[in-house]
């Protein structure tokens, strides 16, 4: 009896020593747990295991070595998905190991209009052997699949019935009418935040909305055969002596009109209406996040920001810069979105406020959705959306990537990378460092760009493949290299998003000392003497008190001066020409000194700041005493200028 017991112990001990792969999974849909999932494990066509999570969202599966598995996930809220485990690639001498692999299974909502469910005919995830002791992600495959899940918008042309035809008429599809309103054909004089309507042939209003902060508008669901024109409600200071120019989204002029009182109407023919149709129209949004606690207010810097659709599926992700600002591209009109941050990044008792580019308060992120602290945003050209709208001229981009030969053990250093625009004109150049990384900073925004490099001394010819990795260490592209050829890379749209970071144009960013936050940064700060930075620091008429909006701007300057100890500036205050010359000079001096006092209150050395009032002596336009000017023209002269004085 004792002998039998001893043998049983030996058998159990040997069984325990035999290695296995343990897959531990957490089922999530849009970052929230999902239950009642049927899980089926297959080896080829043979089902080896089945289980149902029931009231749980987690599962554990044990797999043997030497085989390739497909694990299928079936849930009523999601399309059928499967992942692959390549246990057959583990050599026999490694079979004694117990390998544990844990993952979040990213279910998607099958009713989500942004999700391409057709891609799930392929495995959504691959798990492979790392050659040592672990099962790991197949990063290249998994990243490529993640990019394929979101639908790529296809170009759609409007169906406009011909005026005269003997054929059977086509069924008209609804279209997007979009454009931009400017004054006197001057693209800098945009007609912002004004009510605008689409008029029918009977004179009734088909749809109403407003222009955004740079004069753009968009109407969805329009039957163009019913459209006769557009109507705009102007302001008093816009209506007088101004011509209103209607532009297409391609920046071509369509029609001009003058107001009848404060109402401006464009009567349009079929060809002009056709130019307004843009079924691929999107816009950009951006703003600043500021966090506040009981005793501290700061920029919500270097944190992830998410753009989610109405089902909380993340469709875009970016990071805030040093000033807490962010930008999202390609926002569709007439959609509902969420802007959110990771709940874990918001401390207890802390709140996160969203400000516009002009530092106006928009909203507090106070809605908890899918593990993120968010706010809801409708792209119906309402006031909130218009305040967050960003024009491409207000955007800058940074391009960063790392280049390897064949694998990540071979970074390609000292390679001169050339950046070209879509007309193949050279924009900039950079040299890869010893880690194979290159960076282009503070460039004008480009929707498309290309990268090139000469194969000097045939340094690329020792490699069969060139690998491009993003700044977040995600594989972007594997390119086959042919000996003797130079490096040339034309990234497609999905790859561009992985290489490029977009930020709001802000001249103060160029004065940030990036070496403080990134010791490997080799870029020198270009301090340009007498460079002028004009900020929208507003004061009430005849007063010099600093309001909350002005404080947001000045806090940014304080951060720059703290970060860059060599920076010296002059604060120059300017008024319009209304009122007494001496009074305006005195008022401007008081405003300049108030700004200086606010900055130096944060322990900035007063010797680094000169405060000077210029009154009305330096207008930016023709407005002087006795010269009639609009309120818009007077406002242009009321400003605070910061002159960079160098080191």
**pTM recorded for the entire structure:** 0.82
pLDDT at 120: 96
Which H or E run contains 145? helix 139-149
- CATH topology of 394-504 equal to that of 525-646? no
Paired residues of 363 in beta bridges:
354
C-alpha span between 616 and 565 (Å, rounded): 32
Q: What is the pLDDT of residue 264?
A: 87
Please state the domain extents for the chain: 19-149, 175-276, 283-390, 394-504, 525-646
Half-sphere exposure of 128 (CA within 13 A, CB side): 10
Written as one string, the DSSP assignment of 363-397 is EE--EEETTEEEEEEE-SS-HHHHHHEE-GGGEEE
Q: Which CATH number fits domain 394-504: 2.60.40, 2.20.130, 2.60.120, 1.10.3210?
A: 2.60.40
Which residues of the chain have a pLDDT value below 50?
Answer: 1-17, 158, 515-525
CB 291, CB 297: distance < 8 Å:
yes
Distance, in Å, from the CA atom of 381 to the CA atom of 596, rounded to the nearest integer, reads 38
Nearest to 140 by CA among 502, 495, 459: 495
Give the contacts of 363 (CB within 8 A, at least 6 positions apart): 353, 354, 375, 384
State how far the Cα of 216 lies from the Cα of 248, in Å rounded to an integer: 9
Residue 121's alpha-carbon distances to 72, 80, 369, 443, in angstroms, are 11, 8, 29, 40
Predicted confidence at residue 277, as pLDDT, reads 95
Report pLDDT for 377.
96
Q: 345 φ, ψ to 5°?
A: -85, -5
Do residues 183 and 211 make contact, with C-beta atoms less than 8 angstroms apart? no
- Fold held by 525-646: 60s Ribosomal Protein L30; Chain: A; (3.30.1330)
Yes or no: say if 610 and 567 are a contact pair by the CB < 8 Å rule: no
- Give 19-149's CATH code, choosing from 3.40.50.970, 3.40.50.10420, 1.10.3470.10, 2.60.40.10: 2.60.40.10
What is the three-class DSSP state of 520? coil
**Beta-bridge mates of residue 337:** 309, 377
Q: Which residues contact 521 (CB under 8 A, 6 or more apart)?
A: 514, 515
Does 1.10.287 match the CATH number of domain 283-390?
Answer: no
Residue 293's pLDDT is 83
Predicted local confidence at residue 46, as pLDDT: 95
CB contact at 8 A, 234 and 191: yes
Which CB contacts under 8 angstroms, 24+ apart, belong to 514-521? 516/563, 517/302, 517/322, 520/433
Q: Which positions ≥6 away from 557 have C-beta within 8 Å?
A: 508, 535, 569, 599, 642
DSSP characters over 82-129: EEEEEGGGS-GGGTTS-EEEEEEEEE--TT-TTB-GGGGGS-SEEEEE
Q: Are 357 and 393 in contact (CB under 8 A)?
A: no
Domain 175-276: which CATH number of 1.25.40, 3.30.1050, 2.60.60, 3.50.50: 2.60.60
Tokens of residue 241, six digits: 């002596």
Specify the pLDDT at position 497. Answer: 83
Main-chain dihedrals φ then ψ at residue 240, nearest 5 degrees: -70, 120
């Amino acid at each position: 009896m004792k002998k039998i017991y001893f043998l049983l112990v030996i058998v159990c001990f040997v069984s325990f020593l035999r290695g296995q792969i343990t897959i531990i999974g957490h089922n999530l849909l849009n970052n929230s747990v999902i239950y009642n999932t049927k899980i089926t494990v297959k080896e080829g066509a043979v089902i080896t295991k089945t289980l149902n999570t029931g009231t749980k969202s987690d599962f554990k599966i044990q797999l043997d070595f030497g085989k390739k598995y497909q694990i299928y996930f079936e849930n009523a809220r999601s399309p059928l998905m499967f992942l692959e485990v390549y246990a057959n690639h583990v050599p026999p001498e490694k079979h004694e190991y117990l390998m544990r692999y844990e993952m979040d299974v990213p279910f998607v909502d099958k009713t989500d209009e942004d999700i391409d469910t057709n891609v799930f005919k392929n495995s959504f995830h691959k798990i492979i052997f790392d050659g040592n002791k672990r099962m790991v992600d197949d990063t290249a495959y998994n990243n490529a699949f993640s990019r394929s899940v979101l639908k790529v918008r296809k170009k759609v042309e409007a169906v406009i019935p011909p005026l005269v035809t003997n054929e059977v008429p086509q069924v008209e599809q609804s279209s997007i009418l979009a454009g931009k309103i400017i004054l006197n054909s001057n693209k800098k004089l945009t007609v912002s935040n004004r009510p605008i309507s689409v008029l029918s042939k009977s004179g009734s209003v088909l749809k109403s909305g407003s222009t955004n902060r740079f004069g753009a508008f968009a109407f969805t669901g329009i039957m163009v055969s019913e459209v006769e024109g557009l109507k705009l409600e102007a302001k008093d200071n816009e209506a007088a002596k101004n011509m209103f120019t209607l532009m297409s989204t391609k920046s071509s002029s369509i029609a001009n009109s003058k107001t009848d009182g404060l109402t401006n109407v464009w009567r349009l023919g079929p060809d002009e209406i056709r130019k307004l149709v843009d079924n691929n129209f999107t816009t950009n949004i951006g703003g600043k996040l500021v966090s506040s606690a009981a005793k501290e207010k700061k920029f919500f810097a270097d944190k992830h920001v998410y753009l989610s659709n109405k089902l909380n599926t993340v469709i875009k992700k970016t990071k805030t810069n040093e000033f807490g600002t962010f930008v999202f591209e390609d926002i569709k009109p007439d959609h509902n979105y969420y802007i959110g941050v990771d709940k874990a990044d918001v401390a207890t008792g802390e709140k996160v406020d969203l400000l516009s580019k002009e530092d106006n308060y928009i909203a507090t992120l106070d809605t908890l959705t899918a593990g993120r602290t968010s706010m809801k945003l409708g792209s119906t050209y309402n006031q909130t959306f218009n305040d967050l709208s960003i024009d491409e001229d207000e955007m800058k981009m940074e391009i960063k990537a790392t280049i390897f030969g064949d694998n990540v053990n071979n970074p390609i250093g000292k390679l001169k990378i050339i950046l070209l625009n879509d007309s193949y004109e050279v924009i900039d150049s950079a040299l890869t460092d010893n880690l194979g990384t290159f960076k282009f900073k503070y460039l004008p925004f480009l929707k498309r760009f290309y990268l090139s490099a000469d194969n000097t001394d045939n340094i690329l010819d020792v490699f069969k493949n060139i690998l491009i990795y993003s700044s977040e260490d995600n594989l972007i592209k594997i390119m086959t290299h042919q000996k003797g050829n130079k490096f040339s890379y034309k990234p497609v749209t999905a790859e561009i998003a992985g290489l490029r970071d977009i930020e709001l144009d802000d001249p103060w960013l160029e004065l940030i000392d990036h070496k403080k936050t990134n010791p490997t940064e080799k870029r020198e700060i270009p301090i340009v003497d007498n460079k002028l930075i004009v900020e929208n620091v507003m004061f009430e008429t005849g007063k010099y008190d600093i309001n909350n909006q002005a404080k947001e701007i000045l806090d940014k300057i304080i951060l720059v001066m703290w970060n860059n100890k060599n920076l010296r500036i002059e604060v120059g205050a300017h008024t319009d020409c209304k009122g007494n010359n001496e009074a305006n000079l005195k008022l401007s001096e008081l405003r300049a000194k108030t700004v200086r006092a606010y900055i130096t209150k944060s322990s900035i050395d007063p010797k680094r700041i000169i405060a000077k009032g210029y009154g009305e002596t330096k207008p930016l336009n023709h407005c002087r005493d006795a010269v009639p000017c609009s309120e818009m023209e007077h406002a242009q002269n009321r400003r605070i200028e910061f002159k960079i004085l160098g080191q």
